[in-house]
Amino acid sequence: RRPRSCCCACCRSLVDKRAHRCPVLAHCCHLLPMLMPAPVHTCCFCGTPAGENFYGLAADSAFRIPLWRHVYTWLGIVPASVANLKKHIKWGCVACTPGGIAEMYLAGGKHDHIYIKSRKGFVSVSVEEGIPIVPVYHFGNTALLSFGPKFCEPYGRRWRFSLGLLYGTFGLPLPRRVALMMVVGPPVAVEKVARTDPRFQEVVDETHG
């Protein structure tokens, strides 16, 4: 079912009212990508029919957990796939975390690292549909908690599941005391090009780069 609508002023400003095109929000959040964009839904759920619908993409393995899948469905989060992205972008804004599970294993250091260089799937859909992309970054999130051990990464990525332990203060799953800030960049205009066009991959690479 469709989630409640978003009436947040900054989110409404991202929508192209003339063509009624809602953007793809590309989040880089390091930890718990399956919970993102839950914070976006939480801060934007104001229950007004005048707002825009928001959806999120998450690994399909999360929907195999009985209670968890009901929470995700209520938040408007659907399994991550090209088909779902194309389907839900017609109904509202779609938030995704390109780094996914691989990015979780980069958390815990003093410097921010993101896993996006080889992630072009969401850009391909944006180019094919002519939908703008809005970059979103969460500063401080990489130091909030650590995730590991690192040797679990190949298995976690293969099974599309966050395999590992979260730890922070005193080695417990308690967030460290750090400043957090979410930054939303201006929408990146995307040229609409059909997949059959010889220029398609070139445009994708240019937009992504």
| pTM passes above 0.95 | no
Of 76, 70, 103, 89, nearest in space to 5 by CA: 76
Residues 6+ apart with CB under 8 A from 57: 77, 78, 79, 80, 81, 84, 85, 94, 95, 96, 97
Q: What is the mean pLDDT of residues 134-138?
A: 85
- Residue 117, pLDDT score: 86
Helix (H) or strand (E) holding 144: helix 141-144
pLDDT above 90 covers a percentage of the chain that reads 12
3-state SS track over 74-136: HHCEEECCHHHHHHHCCCEEEEECCCHHHHHCCCCCCCCCCCCCCCCHHHHHHHHHCCCEEEE
> How far is 174 from 45, CA to CA, in rounded Å?
27
pLDDT 10s digits, 75-119: 888 898 889 988 888 888 888 888 877 877 877 767 777 888 888
